[in-house]
Structure 1
């Protein structure tokens, strides 16, 4: 059976107020910066089904240190992407849950996943034998 190529995804074009190229307050740059932190989209994706405790997040993600997880969750909390809930129990229990803004980040994450599904093999094949220095 021959694979049928997927139809291109049509994304709505967004009009921004005029900014200089890559100025720090440019909304597009903020979006790129969010994905520049390699763990942030992973954590958003892992929280897609509801709140999780940090220990469960770390196990589910794999490969992330406790320090990096804590730093990223704190950053995400400051950015209002996650909400931290502390329960008055012994021992204390903490959970993180996506806010509306965090849930909305799933849209580009899913779109990126679709792109990787369509083009990832070709990109990986092009990287074979390429060193990190370019």
Structure 2
């Protein structure tokens, strides 16, 4: 995927922090750190919750379940339940969820270019 530089998206004018402002939705989505991690984890195809939790690491079962349910309501992923014994559930990105990979990859590229400078500014270079 390629990201065009210098081509910002222009939104219709909104009042400061109006509830229907597209920027607020973007901040809400990217403000939830687990949501973007789950999207990235599902980039190669469907996964079962146990495999997602193992791949992500550091997320509680409760937080994973809450985030998956929220993402399903937002139509970012689809839950598939298979009538097997024992029952099997998988989650897969919808087209909207797959499109979120574009800004996630763009943020990753930004961190690759500027992360060391920001980390050093925040935490120092580790030498005392």
TM over 0.5: yes
1:111 aligns with 2:77: no
In 2: Cα distance, 1:38 partner to 1:25 partner? 22
In 1: Cα distance, 2:63 partner to 2:85 partner? 25
Q: What is the 5 A alignment of 1:1-134?
A: 10-128=5-123
**What is the count of residue pairs matched by the alignment?**
122
Give the superposition deviation at 1:23.
Answer: 1.3
TM-score normalized by structure 2?
Answer: 0.91
4+ long deviations beyond 3 Å? none
In 2: Cα distance, 1:9 partner to 1:46 partner? 24
3-state DSSP of counterpart to 2:116:
helix
Q: Report Cα offsets for 1:1-58 as digits up to 9, x if no partner.
A: xxxxxxx951532222221012121001101110000100000000000000000000
Give the superposition deviation at 1:104.
Answer: 0.2
TM-score normalized by structure 1?
Answer: 0.87
In 2: Cα distance, 1:44 partner to 1:127 partner? 27
Structure 2: which 5+ runs fail to align?
Answer: none
- Equivalent residue, structure 2, for 1:3: none
Compared with structure 1, are the counterparts of its residues 127 and 88 closer, same or farther at alpha carbon in structure 2 (3 Å cutoff)? same
For the aligned residues, what is the CA RMSD? 1.4
